Amino acid sequence: VDLDRAAESLRRLTGKYLPGPSRAKDLLSGTFLGHPLHPALTDAVLGCWTSALALDLRGQAEASDTMIGLGILASLPTVASGLSDYADVSGEDASRSGLVHAALNSASILLYASSLLLRKTGHRRAGLTFSSLGFGAALAAGWFGGHLAFRNGVGVDRNAFQELPADWTRAVKVEDLSFDSLDLVQVGGYSLMLRRRGGTVDALSDRCSHRGCSLHEGKLDGDLVTCPCHASVFSLIDGHVVVGPATAPQPRADVRIDQGWVEVRRPSFEADHRG
Ligand code: FES
């Protein structure tokens, strides 16, 4: 099987049938939560199916059937949110892992649906076999989900591992900044996007919190900047997410102008978490 071609086809399908930038996309992404929605929903599915297994072991067949049904129901929004996330994945390893993750999860849902049908038609033994296979497929899918998050960083805030200096640090001369456009500067290995407006300068991390694209290549509209990759919109003033699919805000920098230089520093924790 050509995994790359299959991954590309799946991504094309998700792009075609799932919502583009919209409230629905934000909902599936988890923008309202401040964290990706998909991993949270997977807990509901796996929790139901783990409970079903425990109930089967205790001989409580009807309760187990109920948990299997609930797991199948919970899998519907989980699949939708996962496919929506997959539409924004790039890179060979992440694309392949996402494809296998999706295939194993589809198999587990089919196996559980078959199990429920068999259980309800009096074939309890066969139903047990199918649900056990479904549980195995769901666990294997979970391994690939973990690979996507912890190895490929899908869903991780792309600014999690970089920090601005705590003390005021010179970034650029004010006269070198253009007016009302987005400029990129490096401060101690940290990429900052600056916008000069009148006598003030706003500064946000240039690395989009969603998948890491360069925000200074995006579109500036008043106090808002739109990411060039998946159209998340951030406030230039405080970095909050105005429109997803991003879930984490853009870190901002404190800015002052001293002797013709723009100086920046990491905002204090209190200043950034007030009210
Ligand atoms: S990288 Fe996806 S919205 Fe910026």
Separation of alpha carbons 243 and 154, rounded Å: 19
How far is ligand 1, taken at its centre, from the CA of residue 76, in Å? 25
Which residues does residue 204 pair with via DSSP β-bridges, in sequence order? 193, 252
Of 109-118, 171-180, 225-234, minimum mean pLDDT range? 171-180
Q: How confident is the model at residue 41 (pLDDT cuts 50, 70, 90)?
A: very high
- Cβ(41) to ligand 1 under 6 A? no
pLDDT of residue 271: 56
Q: How confident is the model at residue 274 (pLDDT cuts 50, 70, 90)?
A: very low
Using most ligand atoms within 8 A of CB, pick from 232, 234, 243 the residue to mutate for ligand 1. Answer: 232
For the cut 80, the answer to whether the pLDDT of residue 95 exceeds it is: yes
Using most ligand atoms within 8 A of CB, pick from 230, 234, 242 the residue to mutate for ligand 1. Answer: 230
Separation of alpha carbons 71 and 219, rounded Å: 42
- Cβ(241) to ligand 1 under 6 A? no
How far is ligand 1, taken at its centre, from the CA of residue 218, in Å? 10
Compute CA distances 136 → 82, 109, 110, 124, 164, whole Å.
Answer: 19, 11, 13, 18, 44
- Cβ(119) to ligand 1 under 6 A? no
Q: How confident is the model at residue 275 (pLDDT cuts 50, 70, 90)?
A: very low
- Cβ(72) to ligand 1 under 6 A? no
pLDDT digits (tens, 9 = 90+) for 132-157: 999 999 999 999 999 999 999 999 99
Using most ligand atoms within 8 A of CB, pick from 229, 241, 242, 247 the residue to mutate for ligand 1. Answer: 229
Going 145 to 70 to 88 to 37, the CA torsion angle's sign is: negative
Separation of alpha carbons 236 and 201, rounded Å: 10
Mean pLDDT of 175-204: 91
Separation of alpha carbons 152 and 119, rounded Å: 39
- Cβ(246) to ligand 1 under 6 A? yes
pLDDT of residue 22: 86
Quote the tokens at residue 75. Answer: 């899998």
Mean pLDDT of 162-170: 91
Model pTM score:
0.86
